[in-house]
Amino acid sequence: MNMYGYMGKLLFVDLTDRKIKELELKERDAKLFIGGSGLAARIIYNYLTADLSPFSPSNPIVFMTGPFTATSVPSGSRYSVSSLSAWGYWGESTSGGYFGAFLKRSGYDGIFVIGKSEKPVYLAISDNKAEIRSAEHLWGLDTYKTQEEVRKEFDKRARVACVGIAGENLVKFAAIMNDAGRAAGRTGMGAVMGSKKLKAIAAVGNRSVEVANEDALKATVEAVNAGSYMNITFNLLSRYGTLGYLELGALLGDVPARYYTKTVFPAEKVDSIALIEKYKTRKYACYNCPLGCGKIVKFGKMGVDEVDTPEYETVAAFGPLCENYDLDSIIYANHLCNAYGLDTITMGVSIAFMMYLSEKKVIEREERIEWGDKEKILSFIHMTAKREGIGNVLAEGVKGIAAKYKVSMDYAAQVKGLEIPMHDPRAFFGQALTYATSSRGACHLKPDWYMLDIGAGLAEIGLMPGEVEIGVNPGDRFNMSSRIQSFVTLQNFKELYDALILCKFSQATPFQILGMFNAITGFNFDIDTFLKAGERIINLKRLINIKRGMGRFDDKLPKIVTDALKHGPTSEKSPNVDEMLEEYYKVRKWIEGIPTKEKLTELELDFI
């Protein structure tokens, strides 16, 4: 069936049997789960069992686009990858670049991969055709080289998503890389892909997406763009990239340093201006993105001419979190992670954890690493990707490190196996709730509450965040009382971004997003139906985590990131997660973290 906004077909690939077939996308599923990680969750749910291992052939991995992909929606063409995470819970990650648009233009809304190949393979997709090809000659290549080789032998126009050595070696936080340096970094999707011996997926095609109402879409897209150009977040990201946040974040106490034990550090040494002053940079954008937060740095050192600029998260993780203020080493660390296919956040957090444990002398002298030891940071990255020596411990992330050194989980900066990213939960109490309740663990994006409460400032000077349209109001960042309903609404709303799929940096307002969705699909949703879809997806992912043995106990933050700090902008501040959770469950109609039957019925999830 050909629906507006969708290609109407999914590619089903069984690597064990080397079988490929097409599955029809049902309109009912599209209406209930929209696309992206929403539809992926719907598909994956059926395959799950309580004891399925993430690296078992039976664990499916799903690459999805959404109704926005390859349309004229600005910043709307990311792709998502979902599966069980390397820790065995709900896993998902999205990535920008061009791969998502090219996958959809090849004729498929997504790819469902199951099984495991005996020998390395890659998948080549073009115009409603797909083929499993040998990747034996690509095994062991870095991600840049892999993309290059696949394009050379398959199709120069194709875009490629692939794993590097880290994915091959099942490093728990291996990333999937595409379009040179874009990453689906989190939850170890690269390890799952590697476990299937699937080195890469290449896609190219000329299929176009049919849109229900071209005029309405055009008008809304124009309004979105006009609004964006006068939007402060848009402009700052466009000019400075994500790293532009570091200075502001440091002043707010939002940038964790020294493994989350402080927030005061010399930000000027590693901020966006330091970068621009030190290197020549040029910007680049993802498919149909007017913002263009990406940058390429003219590096000219250590054998590397040009490199992808490190994002804010990466600089914070390899910088202040490790007490390392040497930009060269941060840029090179980022480059190594990209080439090996490693999540920079988890890599940085894991190294910082080793530094913290070294300081506490928990680790044997010969394995210790000192704060700011930039040479050792780089060698740890090499060793992790290759699982050599201490790298074999690092490759397990902070949970694995804590287990290895018999350290209390209070000090392992992770939630549900996913390492805590570079927004300190003491700086925005709502962000603490984000980490505690996000389906994939310590995710900083669903919802990105820190952005909302910074927006309180913008609201005061008349630059109102769009979220107020749906009753989500920015406010005091240290106070969530009577704001949990707002939180839940925003969480439902942000869940939709990964279904549509829309970049979190899109500055479209909620009603503009709904308008574009309706113009494309012709579904004619009202805002409540739209938000309900977000809520449905969250509940479904919750059910997946419950099936995997999770409960209320897993909705918690380790003490290392909630104990009040003595100094800096957040001194003496500590979010009370339990108190917020109490109210959160109430609003969600969950009992002890488990959705009630009534809620599931209301959400049309009663088939479960």
Least Å from the CB of residue 86 to a copy of itself: 36
The smaller minimum CB distance to a copy of itself, of residues 416 and 573, is found at 573
User: What are the CA-CA distances from residue 535 to residues 221, 390, 527, 603 (Å)?
Assistant: 26, 42, 12, 8
Q: Which is nearer to a copy of itself, 476 or 528 (CB)?
A: 476
Please, which residue, 455 or 558, has the CB nearer to a copy of itself? 455
- Looking at the Cβ atoms of 110 and 568, the one nearer to a copy of itself is 568
Nearer CB in complex with a copy of itself: 55/478: 478
- Tell me how far, at minimum, the Cβ of 239 lies from a copy of itself, in Å: 5
* Cα distance between residue 414 and residue 264, in whole Å: 22
Question: Are 70 and 79 in contact, with CB atoms under 8 Å apart?
Answer: no
CB closer to a copy of itself, 576 vs 596: 576
Q: Where are the beta strands (DSSP E) in 189-279?
A: 198-204
Alpha-carbon dihedral sign for residues 594, 27, 45, 171 = negative
Residue selected from 20, 236, 464, 468 as contacting a copy of itself according to rule CB under 8 A: 236
| Span interacting with a copy of itself, options 274-282, 370-378, 382-390, 400-408, rule CB under 8 A | 274-282
Alpha helices in 442-509 (DSSP H): 449-460, 484-500
302 binds a copy of itself (CB under 8 A): no
- What tokens were used for 378? 């780089």
Task: Please tell me whether residue 271 binds a copy of itself under the rule CB under 8 A.
Answer: yes
CB of 587 to a copy of itself, least distance (A): 24
Q: Distance (Å, rounded) from C-alpha 177 to C-alpha 184?
A: 6
Cβ closer to a copy of itself: 36 or 455?
A: 455
Q: Which residue has the tokens 């590096």?
A: 299
| Of 272 and 521, CB closest to a copy of itself | 272
Whose Cβ is closer to a copy of itself: residue 303's or residue 462's? 462
227 belongs to the binding site for a copy of itself (CB under 8 A): no
Task: Note whether 273 binds a copy of itself by CB under 8 A.
Answer: yes
| CA atoms of 19 and 587, how far apart (whole Å) | 45
Stretch that binds a copy of itself, among 225-233, 323-331, 539-547, 597-605 (CB under 8 A): 225-233
- The minimum distance between CB 180 and a copy of itself, in angstroms, equals 22
Please list, residue by residue across 443-461, b when 16 or more beta carbons sit within 10 angstroms of its beta carbon and e when fewer do: bbbbbbbbbbbbbeebbee
Which of 34, 86, 170, 252 touches a copy of itself (CB under 8 A)?
Answer: 252
- Tell me whether residue 52 or residue 273 sits nearer to a copy of itself (CB atom): 273
Buried/exposed 492-504: b ≥16 CB within 10 Å, e otherwise: bbbbbbbbbbbbb
Can you tell me which of 56, 58, 128, 235 binds a copy of itself, judged by CB under 8 A? Answer: 235
Contact 416, 550 (CB under 8 A): yes
H or E, element range at 346: helix 344-359
568 binds a copy of itself (CB under 8 A): yes
| List 227, 292, 522, 569, residue binding a copy of itself (CB under 8 A) | 569
Task: With contacts defined by CB under 8 A, name the span among 229-237, 348-356, 511-519, 579-587 that binds a copy of itself.
Answer: 229-237
Structure tokens at 386: 């290759």
Name the pairing type of β-strands 182-184 and 176-178. Answer: antiparallel
- What span, in angstroms and rounded, lies between the C-alpha atoms of 543 and 605? 10
User: How far is it, in rounded angstroms, from Cα 208 to Cα 412?
Assistant: 47
Residue 176 preceded by cis peptide, ω within 30: no
Is residue 572 part of the contact set for a copy of itself (CB under 8 A)? no
Q: Least distance to a copy of itself from the beta carbon of 427, Å?
A: 9
Asked if 477 interacts with a copy of itself (CB under 8 A), we say yes
Q: Which of 232, 296, 362, 527 binds a copy of itself (CB under 8 A)?
A: 232
The two tokens of residue 272 are 């966006």
Contact between 527 and a copy of itself by CB under 8 A: the answer reads no
CB atoms within 10 A of CB 229: 12
Q: Which range binds a copy of itself by CB under 8 A, 12-20, 203-211, 263-271, 517-525?
A: 263-271
Beta strands 9-14 and 110-114, pairing class: parallel
How many residues of this chain interact with a copy of itself, rule: CB under 8 A?
37
Judged by CB under 8 A, the stretch of 2-10, 297-305, 439-447, 468-476 that binds a copy of itself is 468-476
Q: In sequence order, what are the residues at sequence separation of 6 or more whose Cβ sits closer than 8 angstroms to the Cβ of residue 516?
A: 68, 71, 73, 76, 217, 220, 221, 224, 508
Nearer to a copy of itself, 412 or 565 (CB): 565
Contact call for residues 133 and 122 (beta carbons, < 8 A):
yes
Write down the least CB distance from residue 273 to a copy of itself, Å. Answer: 5
Q: Do 61 and 192 touch, CB atoms closer than 8 A?
A: yes
222 binds a copy of itself (CB under 8 A): no
Hey, what long-range contacts does 596-600 have (CB within 8 A, 24 or more apart)? 599/539, 600/539
| Interacting positions 446-465 with a copy of itself (CB under 8 A) | 453-454, 456-463
Q: Which of 51, 277, 366, 572 is the binder for a copy of itself (CB under 8 A)?
A: 277
Distance between CA atoms of 247 and 546, rounded to whole angstroms?
39
Minimum distance of a copy of itself from residue 335's CB (angstroms): 22
Nearer to a copy of itself (CB atom), residue 467 or residue 535: 467
Cα separation, 118 vs 62, in Å, equals 20
Segment near a copy of itself (CB under 8 A); pick from 9-17, 123-131, 265-273, 325-333: 265-273
Find the binder of a copy of itself among 98, 122, 173, 240 (CB under 8 A). 240
Q: How far is the CB of 267 from a copy of itself (least distance, A)?
A: 8
Applying CB under 8 A, among 478, 532, 594, 602 the residue interacting with a copy of itself is 478
Pick the closer one to a copy of itself by CB: 175 or 433.
433
Question: Do residues 477 and 483 lie in contact, with contact meaning Cβ atoms separated by under 8 Å?
Answer: no
- Give the closest residue to 183 by CA, choosing from 344, 7, 416, 36: 344
**Member of 212, 216, 223, 276 binding a copy of itself (CB under 8 A):** 276
CB 267 within 8 A of CB 247: yes
Q: Which is nearer to a copy of itself, 163 or 454 (CB)?
A: 454
Give the residues lining the site for a copy of itself (CB under 8 A). 230-232, 235-236, 238-240, 247-248, 251-252, 264, 267-268, 271, 273, 276-277, 281, 453-454, 456-463, 474-478, 568-569
